[in-house]
Structure 1
Amino acid sequence: MTPKKKLYEYIDDIYSCMRCGFCIAKCPLYENYGWASNAARGRIQIVRGFLEEKLELSGYIAERIFSCTTCDHCFILCPSGIRITDIVRAMRSVLSGEGYSPDSLKKILENIIREGNPYGEPKAKRGFWLRDEDK
């Protein structure tokens, strides 16, 4: 199944959003930036616009989707019970598949492939923190 088709599994949730704004109440990104596009309600509208082919993928959209902490406060507060973090994860797959992953995530993936860890530290340093008697 393609990532875009996976998004269609959530189509009922996407269209169930009443835009009530309850999700905004505890969203750490909304509290920090104050933009609706950084809250669940805005992210749902972004995904909806993409599925309706009213929005094209872009770095701006990727920023909004990848900035979500997936803390699930929005889901807890949503009177419609929309599985927002599932939708965000599915949209992240779409964005990644089209090359819109944040540079920081690309770097982490490169580090994992090259060194086997997200920090890019050489494998030889893996046990540096162990005491000599534990090695």
Structure 2
Amino acid sequence: MDKLPKIIKKCEGEILSQAIADHEWDNRFKLMIVKRLGPSLVPAEVVVPLNKLGDLMEEIEKKVNQPVVKEGVIIKEGKGGNPEVVILGFIPSDQRKFSYNFVFGLVLTIMKIAKKFGGRPYSTGLYFAGEIEKIMGKERSQKLKDFKKQIDPKKILNPDKVVRKNIVARALSIAKIFEPLVRPFGNAVITRVGEYFDKPVRGIPADVVRYAYGCSQCGYCLDECDQFFGRGWESQSPRGKWYWLREYIEGKVKWDQFMVDTMLVCTTCEFCNLRCSAALPIESSWMKLRGILVNENKEMTFPPFEMMAAALK
């Protein structure tokens, strides 16, 4: 540690204040709080050799004019036993607008730069299934394919993801050819970072609307949710509820008794608040919606409560 100040000075760096260090450490598990900058994020996640990190960052700054929020994790022994850096990059955008497609094209630019410096996409998923051997290695990818064939021969679970090249992956391979042509359109998009609402939208309070778009759909809340554990359906999880609320806010769905019940049966244990990677106040948002649905909209609550209310009339 005694040598650290000299190294930092040599690299033209600086030691941050203790307050900043404490803040970063206290929020080290809130990885997706960046989603609040949205309303949407375009992910651009790559792995590059540590000794090429500077070159990568410099070229990204030259070729990508959109703001790219980055988080980095250093792997001591990466591919080939050499140190690597995982760059979790996110470009704020708005998927409700057509211009989102142009911003998404900048992902190809970042991937192309990463490959230039010996890097690769962070994972396969749906878009890079065709590059599974480059990302995971030949031996590991073959094991995954064999396992998938054995456990899911009818390809029911996550079809065409990770292990099998799909239509989207093929289209993306073709799109790479046109990356230099798409890049100027992506860079020209004017992005408003952050989305704030000062009044309710379709009866949903402004702050709850903001939180709905702040959810990154990461799924950290699933394992801790009693409601999801008891019912097992995605719609019963905090992630599922936030997704449904976004659909409702945009006028794509309507309230029915099933969704009213879904909001009401939360056990209010607040574990989701602790696990949320975006630090969203989930439980208090559900409580606020309960009051609106039952007290203001006069939706039906639990049958015993309806019976008690009727008995008092």
TM-score (normalised: structure 2) = 0.33
Note the C-alpha offset of 1:28.
0.9
| SS class of match (1:92) | helix
Q: Provide the residue aligned with 1:107 in structure 2.
A: 307
Residues 88-107 of structure 1 aligned to structure 2 (within 5 Å): 88-96=286-294, 97-102=296-301, 103-107=303-307
Residues 61-80 of structure 1 aligned to structure 2 (within 5 Å): 61-80=259-278
User: Partners in 2 of 1:107 and 1:7 — Cα distance?
Assistant: 29
- Stretches of structure 2 that go unaligned for 5 or more consecutive residues are 1-198
Note the C-alpha offset of 1:81.
0.6
Code of the aligned partner of 1:20: C
Q: Deviations over 1:11-37 (max 9, x none)?
A: 221111011110001111111111111
Matched, 1:30 2:228: yes
Note the C-alpha offset of 1:84.
0.9
Code of the aligned partner of 1:106: E
Matched, 1:17 2:215: yes
User: Is the contact made by 2:273 and 2:283 (CA closer than 8 Å) also made in structure 1?
Assistant: yes
Q: Deviations over 1:24-73 (max 9, x none)?
A: 01111111111111111111122222222222111011111111111111
Q: Provide the residue aligned with 1:129 in structure 2.
A: none
Code of the aligned partner of 1:104: P
User: Is the contact made by 2:209 and 2:249 (CA closer than 8 Å) also made in structure 1?
Assistant: no
Residues 44-83 of structure 1 aligned to structure 2 (within 5 Å): 44-83=242-281
User: Partners in 1 of 2:204 and 2:258 — Cα distance?
Assistant: 22
Alpha-carbon distance change, 4 to 89 in structure 1, aligned in 2, over 3 angstroms = farther
User: Partners in 2 of 1:3 and 1:105 — Cα distance?
Assistant: 29
Code of the aligned partner of 1:60: F
| SS class of match (2:235) | helix
Code of the aligned partner of 1:38: Q
Alpha-carbon distance change, 51 to 93 in structure 1, aligned in 2, over 3 angstroms = farther
When you count helix as a share of all residues, which structure comes out higher? 1
| SS class of match (1:20) | coil
When you count strand as a share of all residues, which structure comes out higher? 2
- Stretches of structure 1 that go unaligned for 5 or more consecutive residues are 115-135
Alpha-carbon distance change, 31 to 90 in structure 1, aligned in 2, over 3 angstroms = same
Match of 1:40 among 217, 231, 238: 238
Alpha-carbon distance change, 3 to 78 in structure 1, aligned in 2, over 3 angstroms = same
Match of 1:87 among 260, 285, 289: 285
Q: Provide the residue aligned with 1:7 in structure 2.
A: 205
User: Is the contact made by 2:215 and 2:278 (CA closer than 8 Å) also made in structure 1?
Assistant: yes
| SS class of match (2:211) | helix
User: Is the contact made by 2:272 and 2:282 (CA closer than 8 Å) also made in structure 1?
Assistant: yes
Q: Deviations over 1:62-121 (max 9, x none)?
A: 11111111111111100101111122122222321223232233234456x57xxxxxxx
Code of the aligned partner of 2:284: D
Q: Provide the residue aligned with 1:133 in structure 2.
A: none
User: Partners in 1 of 2:305 and 2:249 — Cα distance?
Assistant: 24
Q: Provide the residue aligned with 1:126 in structure 2.
A: none
Note the C-alpha offset of 1:3.
10
Aligned residues between the structures: 113
